[in-house]
Amino acid sequence: MAGPGSTPEQEDGSWPVADKFSTRTLRSSSTVYQGRIWDVVSDTFSLTPDSEPLSRDYIAHPGAVAVVVLNEENQVLLLSQYRHPVHMVLWEIPAGLLDVQGEDFVVGAARELAEEADLVAAQWHVLTDFFNSPGSSSEAIRIYLARDLSPVPQDQRHVRTDEEAEIAFRWVDLAEAVEAVLSGRIHNPSAVVGILAAAQASAGGFSQLRDAHAPWPEHPAQRGQ
C-alpha cells in the first residue's frame, strides 16, 4: 500500500503492509432497498473536501463468522450445501451471519458450529479476517480455528431445514483440502481463505494465531469506535 500522494513505483517500504481506516467526507446516505437480511445503501461522498462528489451503492451487511474445524489427525471438516445464486453444491466450512444484536463473536461462531456440524470445540483461536467483496459490500468475515472437539448430544441438536437439510459432511486431510483449493475444485470464499490460512498456521505449529477474543475493529458494528 503506497503512502499518501505516492504511486506504487514510489513506495520505499516505509509504510507497513497493513490496511487502515480512511475517513472521507460523506455528503448523504440513504437505504434504497431493505431486505430480510441485508440492505442496499447509496452513499454520496468526496475523496477530498474540494473534490467532486461520488455516489456508490453497496450491501450493508451485519458481518459473519466461519470456522475451520481440525481434528487430531489434522483433518478439516468440510460440508456440502446448495447455493442458489450460483446454482451449485459447494464444499464449505461451517459459517453464519452475525445477526444477533450484541452477540459475542466467539459465541456466534460456536452457535454456527453446533447448528451446522453438531460439534462443540474447547479450543478457539482467530485464524484470519477478510472482506468478502469490499467493492460492493460492507461484509467482514472472521474465520476461527476450532479444535479439541466433542459432539453435541443427540437430544440437543439443531434441526436443519431448507437447504441446510441437505448438508453432508466429510473429513479431509488438510493437505488434500489445500490441493482442492489450488486446483479450483473449492470455490466458497470462507473455505478457500480458511483452508489456506489453516495450512500456513499448521506449518508454524499454530504459534502465531490470535486469541479468540482478539479485537475486530473491521467488523461493521465496530468501525469508527
Cell 437505504 belongs to which residue?
31
Reading the block at residue 157, the C-alpha cell is 441438536
Nearest C-alpha neighbor of 173 from the set 93, 67, 95, 77: 77
Looking only at Cα atoms, what is the longest distance across the chain?
63
* Catalytic residue list contains 164: yes
Which residues lie closer than 8 Å to 61 by C-beta, 6 or more apart? 38, 137, 138, 139, 140, 220
Q: Looking at 164, 166, 176, 179, which residue is catalytic?
A: 164
Question: How far apart are the C-alpha atoms of 116 and 95, rounded to whole Å?
Answer: 8
Would you say how long the chain is, in residues? 225
Under 8 Å between Cβ of 124 and 212: yes
User: Taking the C-alpha atoms of 151, 160, 62 and 186 in order, what is their torsion angle to the nearest 10 degrees?
Assistant: 80
Nearest C-alpha neighbor of 212 from the set 116, 139, 110, 64: 110
Reading the block at residue 3, the C-alpha cell is 503512502
Which residues lie closer than 8 Å to 110 by C-beta, 6 or more apart? 120, 121, 124
Q: Mind telling me the catalytic residues? A: 164
